[in-house]
């Protein structure tokens, strides 16, 4: 039945009013639910949302911008450096990095520690005044609970657990994590008594204390974590043992940290309020906000450092010692050009790294795969700049002045002026046809692992960190458990195809070893074997010498060619005092840092 005219008229009138009312109501709801990230916090941790005040001898609000932090669980891998900055603010491990000498550790929750003569057993003596933010004492049982949690199968959810079991080889840890046993008493991480915690390793590791100071060994508060379950991250009722507590955390917006007055060393931390904004909008936006004084610190500047180094705040850029390498990695290809070590060496020694360093500031020339944050880096073979020898090597390989050589591609997903300069250098010095292939990151990640046809050969560009930056860790990273088929483990194309299929199908390490058997170059196998032997040496000095030798051998294989070294870069306002970024992926600490407002 059709409605009559009266109904229609009434309907129209009511409809308009209803629409208007609905709009107003929606506007009102939206206005109250707009979720401004004004640092209001959870209301449960005493956040005043103000400018920091001067409570407990602390003053000033530190305003920092960083890439969005995905999560805060220290027992999960895949977090960014920025996440680690927050993590080491919230929690404290057994030992911490020494602010004055970052190559060393000082006591954290542990006041002192003993290392057995065989270098396998670490006994930590916990300080009496170490407390959780709710006043509970931090005990050895808390650490045993946390080691158990960190090694629990599936702790990484769909991701990867963070505990570095390949370098911090806790006895029985790998078996427990892989589910071979569910008896944690078989694992070498035990509370001897309330204040003594003992960790036993399967093999000595000169970096063990540095590893204990990293985010993956930070402790959660057992009782509140168990009680709150998946909601343990909720700032309401937050408990942690570091210099700060979490007042608010929104994954897409930012976080606010407030001082933990129960922290045993709270007098070394002077900031009353730490406001963190997450920015995934690139350098331009952050640089503007920083220049306007809206931020004290930003590390969100890496995708356009040129804009920073040419801006009026360039002198406020601070950089850590270098622990990263911008490098070129050979891709597998049916074209044999780059399978000739003479060609690779010619390419490596015809790079003018000093010039690239001038272009790629604040990065510096990187003549080896071992950057300068690593002790004894200068003793590792340094790749020279020798164009004459490069030409001679290329001619010897059958490509005089580049004649007959295929086009060499440099695959990247970000346009970097220094890479363009590198390509130009090869064109000018060696007469090669070099093309800079900049593509979308997904295409890049796909393309770099392909076994290319005869018409495509070259290198993919990437940036890697040695973390923690030590000679031991560098070599450990070069002696991988599972074989691969590109980069330093370059395999002939037909074998590489078979290996790619195996890798894509997640074949076992044994199967992959079988495929690679007898197909690696002897130079690679010699370097790998030298590395493995060096890692097993017990004497410190002897081991270091052998590690340097192995690192030098990797440097002269030239399937991975270093170009530049880089550190962590931050823009820091002059009002922020005593802040020095360090060479660990946690980038910085706020210990001793003040903000003069």
Partner 1 sequence: MLGYMARRLVRMVLSLVAVSLITFVLLQMVPGSFSELSNAGSTIYGDVGMVDGGEAAVNQGDQRPAWQQYLSFMKGLVTWDMGPTYKYPQASVEELIGEAFPVSLTLAIPATLLTLVIAIPIGMLAAVKKDKLADYGSLFTLTTIQALPGYLFALLLVLIFSVGLNVLPVRGWKGPEYMIIPVIALAVQPTAVLARYVRSSMLEALRDEYVVAALAKGGTQRTVLIRHVLRNSMIPLVTVVGPIFAGLATGTVFVEVLLGIPGLGRLFSSAARQRDMPLLMGATMFFAIILMVMNLLVDIAYGLLDPRIRLEQSGNKGSRRAKRPGQPKVSTGMSTDSTETVVAIGGTRV
**Residue 274 beta carbon to partner 1: minimum distance, rounded to whole angstroms:** 15
CA dihedral 25, 26, 31, 32 (to 10 degrees): 70
The pair of three-digit structure tokens given for residue 438, joined into one six-digit string:
């900049």
Place of tokens 């997450």: 278
Going through 80-128 in order, the beta strands assigned E by DSSP cover 95-97, 105-107, 110-115, 121-126
Q: How many residues bind partner 1 (CB under 8 A)?
A: 109
**Residues 439, 413: contact at Cβ < 8 Å?**
yes
Q: What is the dihedral of CA 130, 134, 140, 141, to 10 degrees?
A: 180
**Binding partner 1 by CB under 8 A: which of 43, 281, 336, 384?**
281
Strands (E), 299-358: 317-319, 324-330
Q: How far is the CB of 30 from partner 1 (least distance, A)?
A: 5
Judged by beta carbon, residue 250 or residue 403, the one nearer partner 1 is 250
| CA 564 to mean position of chain CA atoms | 18
Regarding 6 and contact with partner 1 (CB under 8 A), the answer is no
For partner 1, the closer of residues 128 and 303 by Cβ is: 303
Of 483-542, binders to partner 1 (CB under 8 A) are: 484, 487-489, 506
Q: Give the nearest distance from C-beta 299 to partner 1 in angstroms.
A: 8
Out of 445, 529, 538, 575, the residue judged to bind partner 1 by CB under 8 A? 445
Among 10-18, 134-142, 183-191, 239-247, the segment contacting partner 1 (CB under 8 A): 10-18
In the DSSP assignment, the letter for residue 303 is: G
Least separation in angstroms between CB 417 and partner 1 = 13
Bridge-partner residues for 246, per DSSP?
A: 257
CB 166 within 8 A of CB 481: yes
CB of residue 190 to partner 1, shortest distance in Å: 24
Q: What is the DSSP letter of 489?
A: G
Segments in 128-231 forming alpha helices (H): 140-151, 173-177, 208-212, 222-228
Q: Which of 75, 125, 221, 326: binder of partner 1 (CB under 8 A)?
A: 326
Query: Quick one: tokens of 173?
Result: 């840890």
Which CA distances in Å does 390 have to 21, 336, 373, 493? 78, 18, 29, 25
Give the C-alpha separation, 249 to 525, whole Å: 48
- Residue 71 vs residues 80, 81, 583: alpha-carbon distances, Å: 9, 12, 22
Sorted by sequence, the CB contacts under 8 Å of residue 536 that are 6+ apart come out as 203
Strands 408-412 and 457-465, bridge-based pairing: parallel
What is residue 406's DSSP assignment? P
354 near partner 1, rule: CB under 8 A: no
Q: Which of residues 56-75 bind partner 1 (CB under 8 A)?
A: 67-68, 70-73
| Region near partner 1 per CB under 8 A, out of 172-180, 182-190, 394-402, 472-480 | 472-480
Q: Binding residue for partner 1 (CB under 8 A) from 20, 21, 115, 288?
A: 288
What is the CA angle 476-120-482, rounded to 5? 25
Least distance in angstroms from the C-beta of 20 to partner 1:
11
Contacting residue, 257, 410, 465, 579, with partner 1 by CB under 8 A? 465
Query: Using CA atoms, how far apart are residues 499 and 281, in angstroms rounded to an integer?
Result: 38
Q: Which of 41, 47, 93, 164 binds partner 1 (CB under 8 A)?
A: 164
CB atoms near residue 230 (< 10 Å):
6
**Separation CA 525–CA 517 (nearest Å):** 11
Cβ-based nearer residue to partner 1, 204 or 581: 581
Nearest to 291 by CA among 310, 307, 313, 315: 313
- Helical spans, DSSP H, in 58-170: 81-90, 140-151
Which of residues 308, 349, 369, 380 is near partner 1 by CB under 8 A?
A: 369
Residues 92-151 that bind partner 1 (CB under 8 A): none
To the nearest whole angstrom, how small is the minimum distance from the Cβ of residue 211 to partner 1? 12
Which one of 135, 182, 312, 442 is in contact with partner 1 (CB under 8 A)? 442
Q: Which of residues 243-262 bind partner 1 (CB under 8 A)?
A: 250-253
- Which of 444, 485, 557, 558: binder of partner 1 (CB under 8 A)? 444
Nearer of residues 363 and 405 to partner 1, judged by Cβ: 363
Q: Tokens standing for 187?
A: 């694992």
Nearer CB in complex with partner 1: 2/185: 2
Distance CA 175, CA 169 (A): 11
Nearer to partner 1 among residue 11 and residue 179 (C-beta): 11
> Which of 104-112, 286-294, 374-382, 428-436 is the region at the interface with partner 1 (rule: CB under 8 A)?
286-294
Q: Which is nearer to partner 1, 32 or 185 (CB)?
A: 32
- Interface with partner 1 by CB under 8 A: which range of 17-25, 193-201, 331-339, 507-515? 17-25
> CB of residue 300 vs partner 1: minimum separation in angstroms?
8
**Spatial contact of 177 and 189, defined as CB atoms under 8 Å apart:** no
Q: Does 80 bind partner 1 (CB under 8 A)?
A: yes
- Residue whose tokens read 């001067």: 54
Q: Which of 20, 27, 180, 509 binds partner 1 (CB under 8 A)?
A: 27
CB of 251 vs partner 1, minimal distance in Å: 5
Do residues 107 and 214 make contact, with C-beta atoms less than 8 angstroms apart?
no
DSSP track, 365-393: E--SSS-TTSTTGGGSPPPP--HHHHHHH
Please report whether residue 324 would count as binding partner 1 according to CB under 8 A: yes
Q: Does 436 bind partner 1 (CB under 8 A)?
A: no
- Span of 284-292, 338-346, 513-521, 540-548 interacting with partner 1 by CB under 8 A: 284-292
Q: Does 277 bind partner 1 (CB under 8 A)?
A: yes
Near partner 1 by CB under 8 A: residue from 115, 192, 375, 414 = 414
| Contact between 362 and partner 1 per CB under 8 A | no
CB of 48 to partner 1, least distance (A): 15
**Quick check: 415 binds partner 1 (CB under 8 A)?**
no
From candidates 225, 333, 585, 590, binder to partner 1 by CB under 8 A: 585
């Amino acid at each position: 039945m059709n409605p009559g005219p009266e109904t229609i008229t009434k309907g129209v009138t009511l409809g308009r009013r209803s629409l208007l009312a609905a709009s107003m109501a929606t506007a009102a709801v939206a206005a109250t639910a707009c979720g401004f990230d004004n640092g209001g916090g959870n209301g449960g941790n005493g956040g005043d949302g103000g400018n920091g005040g001067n409570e407990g001898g602390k003053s000033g609000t530190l305003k920092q911008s960083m890439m969005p932090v995905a999560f805060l669980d220290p027992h999960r891998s895949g977090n960014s450096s920025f996440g680690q900055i927050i993590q080491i603010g919230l929690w404290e491990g057994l030992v911490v990095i020494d602010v004055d000498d970052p190559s060393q550790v000082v006591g954290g929750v542990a006041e002192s520690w003993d290392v057995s003569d065989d270098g396998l057993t670490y006994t930590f003596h916990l300080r009496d005044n170490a407390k959780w933010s709710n006043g509970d004492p931090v005990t050895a049982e808390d650490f045993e609970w946390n080691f158990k949690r960190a090694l629990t199968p599936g702790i990484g959810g769909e991701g990867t657990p963070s505990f570095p079991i390949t370098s911090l080889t806790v006895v029985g840890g790998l078996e427990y994590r892989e589910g071979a046993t569910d008896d944690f008493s078989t694992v070498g991480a035990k509370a001897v008594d309330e204040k003594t915690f003992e960790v036993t390793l399967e093999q000595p590791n000169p970096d063990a204390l540095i590893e204990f100071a990293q985010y993956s060994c930070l402790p959660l508060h057992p009782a509140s974590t168990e009680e709150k379950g998946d909601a343990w991250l909720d700032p309401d009722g937050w408990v942690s043992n570091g210099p700060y507590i979490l007042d608010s955390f929104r994954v897409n917006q930012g976080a606010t940290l407030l001082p933990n007055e129960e922290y045993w060393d709270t007098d070394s931390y002077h900031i009353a309020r730490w406001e963190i904004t997450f920015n995934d909008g690139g350098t331009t936006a952050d640089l503007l906000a920083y220049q306007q004084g809206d931020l004290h610190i930003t590390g969100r500047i890496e995708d356009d450092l040129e804009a920073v180094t040419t801006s009026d705040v360039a002198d406020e850029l601070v950089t850590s010692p270098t622990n990263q390498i911008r490098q070129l990695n050979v891709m597998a290809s049916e074209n044999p050009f780059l399978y000739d070590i003479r060609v690779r060496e010619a390419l490596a020694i015809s790079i003018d790294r000093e010039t690239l360093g001038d272009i790629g500031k604040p990065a510096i020339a990187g003549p080896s795969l071992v950057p300068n944050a690593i002790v004894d880096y200068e003793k590792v073979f340094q790749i020279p700049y020798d164009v004459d020898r490069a030409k001679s090597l290329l001619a010897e390989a059958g490509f005089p002045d580049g004649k007959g050589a295929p086009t060499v591609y440099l695959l990247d997903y970000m346009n970097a002026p220094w890479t363009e300069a590198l390509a130009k250098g090869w064109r000018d010095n060696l007469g090669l046809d070099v093309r800079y292939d900049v593509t979308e990151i997904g295409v890049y990640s796909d393309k770099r692992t392909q076994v290319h046809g005869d018409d495509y050969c070259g290198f993919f560009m990437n940036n890697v960190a040695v973390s923690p930056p030590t000679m031991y860790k560098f070599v450990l990273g070069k002696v991988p458990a599972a074989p691969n088929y590109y980069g330093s483990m370059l395999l002939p194309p037909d074998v590489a195809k078979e290996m790619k299929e195996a890798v894509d199908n997640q074949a076992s390490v044994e199967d992959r070893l079988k495929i690679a058997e007898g197909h690696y170059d002897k130079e690679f196998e010699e370097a790998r074997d030298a590395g493995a032997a060096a890692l097993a040496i017990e004497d410190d000095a002897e081991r270091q010498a052998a590690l340097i030798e192995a690192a030098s051998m990797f440097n002269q294989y030239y399937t991975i060619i270093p170009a530049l070294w880089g550190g962590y870069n931050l823009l820091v306002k002059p009002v922020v005092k005593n802040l020095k970024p360090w060479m660990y992926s946690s980038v910085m600490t706020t210990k001793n840092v003040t903000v003069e407002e």
